[in-house]
Amino acid sequence: MSNNENALALPVGTTLDRFIMRQQEDFPYAKGELSQLLRDIALAAKIINREINRAGLIDITGAFGKENIQGEHQQKLDVIANIRFKRALINGGEACGILTEEEEDIIQTGNENGKYVVAIDPLDGSSNIDVNVSIGTIFSIYRRVSPIGTPATTEDFMQGGRRQVAAGYILYGSSTIMAYTTGQGVNAFTYENSLGEFFLSHANIKMPASGKIYSCNDAYFEDFSEPVQNFVRNLRKNDGVARYIGSLVGDFHRNLLKGGIYLYPPTAKSPHGKLRLLYECYPLAFVIEQAGGIAFEGSVKTLDVVPQKPHQRSTIFLGSPEMVENLVKNFFVPEFIDSHPAINSI
């Protein structure tokens, strides 16, 4: 039995730490650093879970009063989550640099001998916390390309989606779940508060090949391109079910388990898309592909999009393979398909 088969054979209820240790055997170049990074992320998630659960009692909901570098109003929990993840990754000692949605520049951790960098959206959908709706964290890990012993560089984060060594998300909802992949399938772990541990709850996730659910902001329907409008109309005529939380991780997790498609197409307000490529689209595309799904930027697969800048925005269509293929092949106008040969290779 291979190391990966050993890891996947671990029973539901296995702790995250034990699972990580077993998977570490699949990485001959790793000496525990990647495993420690995943533990650091899990530790920060536990702390944020605690803060969220008492948010209504200690005045950490609502706006912080500033904008982040995306021009979006920061929520108090955005700032708290950013601090928690920075501290966990800095103190863990394995990340030499961090790229976060909340700060413009690369965060130098001082761990210049660290072999990895982390791109992260510390708290996605944080405005929903005021009304007790699910929110989440999205993360991506790369092996650095800059020399060991030097500060992290922009190039460390601009390697492209195919160079991720690990990626995942944490969903803070009715339960707190951490799901991740290291390129060996997708596994999810549910947090048990009384024991302070994540336990394997969803082993080797495989998403359905198709589904009825479509997730998009219908308020922007008139701003969608005609092909996307036609696709949505077709779903509605064929018993499609609209489900949209407005919290990316929540929508993604539901569709991953039940089958469906998530759409964030270009609009007049956001012609290049709204989601961030490096720390939202890349990691979720990595997860979805490992679970048997597909993610497209429009003309190319999301993981094949070449990054141009650290906080680059992107459109995305991701989910069950039959639904995404149906959108890309049958609903993009012929002239668009002809001018983008990559679509014909699906």
| Annotated binding-site ranges for substrate | 124-127, 217, 244, 262-264, 274
Beta strands in the chain (DSSP E): 63-67, 73-75, 95-100, 107-108, 116-124, 135-143, 164-172, 176-181, 186-192, 197-202, 213-215, 241-242, 260-264, 275-276, 294-296, 313-314, 316-319
Closest by Cα among 292, 213, 216 to 259: 213
Please give the structure tokens belonging to residue 142: 């790369």
| Closest CA relative to residue 253, chosen from 287, 281, 216, 282 | 287
Size of the chain, expressed as the number of residues it contains: 346
Instruction: Map residue 9 onto helix, strand or coil.
Output: coil
142 contacts 117 by C-beta, under 8 angstroms: yes
Binding-site residue numbers for Mg(2+) are 101, 121, 123-124, 280
Residue pair 304/289 in contact by the 8 Å Cβ criterion: no
Phi first, then psi: give them for residue 110, nearest 5 degrees: 85, -5
d(CA 75, CA 288): 28
What does the alpha-carbon distance between residue 93 and residue 255 come to, in Å, rounded to a whole number? 35
